[in-house]
């Protein structure tokens, strides 16, 4: 049985995450309050719905408590992110991951009930810094992955 994952917020980050999860075989429930975002992803995920994730009554319609994890990928609307985290916890979701723009936002999201907070720009900056400091060229990894995918061989990168 595949993992059921809820993704709230279908901007660049949320859409990319939802698509990747679906490609990995997860049952993805993707929601956003903008129908344009929902339309853009509806053929790539299991379910795509327009709804207000800050409203526990609306959120209840997707049975969030049945999801292994819920990701609040909202970036610009901080109040919406906090209210979505709180609604998810109120509805019994055990594991909530939330996107934060700043460390202060992260602390507030944790206080609202998020189990984990990610700061995309900071985390990617640190990861790229580690790769480059160790002499690893990210372009080499991407090229090797593309070649391996074309030849269906396992990828082994030093």
pLDDT in tens, 20-67: 999 999 999 999 999 999 999 999 999 999 999 999 999 999 999 999
Q: Is residue 158 part of a domain?
A: no
Give the model's pLDDT for residue 46.
97
Range of the structural domain that residue 31 is part of = 4-118
Higher pLDDT, 76 or 27: 27
CATH of the domain at 108: 3.40.50.720
Helix (H) or strand (E) holding 80: helix 78-90
Neighbouring residues of 157: CB distance < 8 A, sequence distance ≥ 6: 140, 141, 144, 145
* Count of other CB atoms within 10 angstroms of residue 130: 10
Give the model's pLDDT for residue 75.
84
Q: Which residue has the tokens 């074309």?
A: 150
Q: Is residue 123 part of a domain?
A: no
Q: Is residue 64 part of a domain?
A: yes
Q: Is residue 132 part of a domain?
A: no
Q: 85-99 b/e with 16+ CB inside 10 Å = b?
A: bbbbbebebeebbbb
Q: Is residue 109 part of a domain?
A: yes
Nearest one of 75, 98, 76 to 86, comparing CA atoms:
98
Query: What are the tokens at 26?
Result: 């997860």
Q: Is residue 88 part of a domain?
A: yes
| Residue 74 predicted with pLDDT over 60 | yes
Cα distances (Å, whole numbers) of residue 51 to 34, 82, 128:
8, 16, 35
In the chain, the number of structural domains is: 1
Give the model's pLDDT for residue 28.
98
Higher pLDDT, 147 or 6: 6
Neighbouring residues of 105: CB distance < 8 A, sequence distance ≥ 6: 78, 81
Q: Is residue 155 part of a domain?
A: no
Indicate the pLDDT class of residue 139, thresholds 50, 70 and 90: low
């Amino acid at each position: 049985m595949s993992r059921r994952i809820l993704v709230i917020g279908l901007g660049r980050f949320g859409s990319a995450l939802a698509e990747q999860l679906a490609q990995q075989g997860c049952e993805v429930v993707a929601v956003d309050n903008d129908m344009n975002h929902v339309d853009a992803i509806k053929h790539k995920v299991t379910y795509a719905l327009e709804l207000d994730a800050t409203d526990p009554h609306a959120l209840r319609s997707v049975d969030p408590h049945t999801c292994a994890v819920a990701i609040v990928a909202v970036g610009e609307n901080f109040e919406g992110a906090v209210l979505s985290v709180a609604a998810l916890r109120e509805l019994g979701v055990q594991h909530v991951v939330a996107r934060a723009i700043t460390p202060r936002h992260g602390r507030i999201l944790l206080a609202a009930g998020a189990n984990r907070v990610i700061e995309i720009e900071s985390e990617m900056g640190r990861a790229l810094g580690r790769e480059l400091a160790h002499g690893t060229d990210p372009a080499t990894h991407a090229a090797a992955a593309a070649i391996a995918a074309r030849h269906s061989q396992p990828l082994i990168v030093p």
